[in-house]
Amino acid sequence: MTQPPLPGVLADVAPILDHWGYLAVAGLVFIEDFGVPVPGETILIVAAVYAGAGRLNIVLVAVIAFCAAVLGDNVGYAIGRFGGHRLVERYGRYVLLTPARVKKAEGFFTRHGGKVVTVARFVEGLRQANGIIAGMAGMSWRRFLVFNALGASLWVGAWVTFGGLAGAHLDTLYPAIQRYELYVLVAMAVVILAVIGRHLYHRRHRDAERQPEQ
C-alpha cells in the first residue's frame, strides 16, 4: 500500500533520503555534529519514520546514526582542542558559532561539564557546537567520549523509537496531523509571541532600572 506523504519539513528532506538512503543519515548527522548547519536531526527522524513504515532497517538506521554522531562530535572536539579560539573567531560565523554564543557555552561547560555533553544532543545549537566547545574548554578526551557516547545513544534511541512508532502508524497519524495542523500552528504562534513579549517586557524593565534618576 502506498504510504501518505510526510508532513512539513520532513517532506522537504525526504527526497534526500530517497536518493541517498543510509548514506544520507551517516553524512548529514556526521557533519551536523561538528558545526555545519545541515538537517542531521531531521534526516534521522525521517529515516526512523521510513524504517517504521518498512522502507529501511531500523537497526541499521540506529547504528549508523549513533556512529556518525559520535564521530562527528569527536571531529568537533579536535577542532576546538587544536584550533581553539583562533579558528572559531575566523570561521565560526559561517557555522553559527558567534563569539557571544561561544562565550556563553564555555561558561555553561565550566559549570556543568559532562552533563552538558550528554544533554546537548537535544538542544539546537548546542548539539552542533558541543564538541568544539568541550575541546576549547580543555575537557579531557576520555571524559568527553564517555558522555558524548551516552548522549548519542539517548538521542538516537529517542528519535528512532519515536520515528519508528510514527512510521508504523503513519496511515492513522497523517489524517490527524492534517486535521489539526492549523490549530497546532496557531498554538505555536501564540506561545512564540508570548515568549517574545515576556522577553521584551523584562528587557524594558531592566533598561528602565539602569537609567539614572533625573
pLDDT number for residue 188: 58
Residue 31 pLDDT > 90: yes
117 vs 185, residue with greater confidence: 117
Residue 214 pLDDT > 50: no
How many C-beta atoms surround the C-beta of residue 7 within 10 A?
13
pLDDT number for residue 13: 72
pLDDT number for residue 9: 57
H helix runs in 122-169, sequence order: 126-136, 141-168
C-alpha triplet 129, 134, 135: angle, nearest 5°: 105
pLDDT number for residue 14: 75
pTM: 0.69
For the segment 157-204, what is each residue's pLDDT rounded down to a tens digit? 999 998 888 776 655 555 554 555 555 556 656 766 776 777 666 667
